[in-house]
Copies of this chain bind each other. A is one copy, B any other.
């Protein structure tokens, strides 16, 4: 059902998502879907979380650089898929609906919390400067990738992956403090 939801989102967008079509694609009765997910935002949230768990696992390479490279590579691979980008575009557009905005906030909170494990392990190894919040490192890593995928359309190639890893490492080392 969750895979069918992602597939339907890619083809029809959030506006065109119907629980009937998801059930048909998954080969289950629609009451089965309704019983577990009683609204579309919750179904989309669960589908996105499951998709990310499978395609962007939390790495444990032993170094922050290795973990960030693994994360950036799997995110870049997702963002190179037209179907994934189509899903993201439709969710960005649907974010003006409060229920979808709320589901999206929960999705990102859950994902940032998972990636925070990587940063906490790096912190324990002394690879993160004191006081640097894990969210900032994650934003440095994924900000430029999502910008390319959704906004500027620049290619997400090996250079882009390397550059965002460099940027996230700089954030972890807090190389500059313009504000202070």
A residues at B contact (CB < 8 Å): 13, 65, 68-69, 86, 88-90, 92-93, 95-96, 101, 104-105, 108, 112, 135-136, 139-140, 142-148, 150-154, 162-163, 165-167, 169-171, 173-179
Q: Chain B residue with minimal CB distance to A150?
A: B92
Copy tally for this chain in the complex stands at 2
Interface class of chain A by DSSP: helix
**What's the nearest-Cβ distance from chain B to residue A172, in Å?**
9
Cβ of B178 and Cβ of A162 under 8 Å apart? yes
CA distance A173 to B5 in the complex (A): 44
Residue of B nearest to A132 (CB): B163
Q: Which residue of B lies closest to A65 (CB)?
A: B178
Chain B residues whose CB sits within 8 angstroms of the CB of A108 once the complex forms = 151-154
Residue numbers in B under 8 Å from A96 (CB-CB): 86, 89
Contacting residues, chain B, for A69 (C-beta < 8 A): 178
Q: Is the CB of A165 within 8 A of B179?
A: yes
5 A-B pairs (CB sep. < 8 Å) = A89-B96, A95-B150, A104-B153, A167-B167, A167-B171
Tell me the minimal C-beta distance from A82 to chain B in angstroms.
9
Distance (whole angstroms) from the CB of A13 to the closest CB of chain B: 8
Q: Closest B-chain residue to A158, C-beta based?
A: B179
